[in-house]
Amino acid sequence: MTVAEWCVFASLMLYLLTIVPIKWLGYRRYDNSKPRDPAFYGDPLRTRALGAHQNGIEAFPFFAVAVLLAEFKAGPQRLIDELSVLFLIVRVAYVLTYLGDRPRLRSILWNTGFVINIAIFFLPLIRRYLPI
């Protein structure tokens, strides 16, 4: 497996690990028979963790498709790997800013991640123009 493919897996784990600790920490209030109970997410930190988790679910498909398409279409693997690692770093920072209630920085990081995804997606198209 390539580094980029491991980053796809890590991106999946990141959005899962964003919400699991919140549920564990609130185990006395969290009812697994009602996992989407709005009352549990009334706490601001829990609300932000749920938002970060949901955004991770939303961001994952584009990242996974971009990586797999770029590899399938023979984009420059080293650049795909590097951009995938960068995307993962940006996503970790995004989650931390979401949990830390830093909306402006969070938006900047979201946009940065989106641009990285677009770059990965179009790597096969522009590979002949790259000095690699």
Q: Where are the domains of the chain?
A: 3-129
Instruction: Render the chain in DSSP notation, one character per residue.
Output: --HHHHHHHHHHHHHHHHHHHHHHHTTTT--TTSTT-TTGGGSHHHHHHHHHHHHHHHHHHHHHHHHHHHHHTT--HHHHHHHHHHHHHHHHHHHHHHHTT-HHHHHHHHHHHHHHHHHHHHHHHHGGGS--
**Mean pLDDT, rounded, for 51-65:** 97
Residue 6: which pLDDT band, with cuts at 50, 70 and 90? very high
Mean pLDDT of the chain: 92
What is the per-residue pLDDT across 13-56, written as a single tens digit (0 to 9) for each? 999 999 988 888 776 777 778 777 888 888 899 999 999 999 99
What CATH number has the domain spanning 3-129? 1.20.120.550
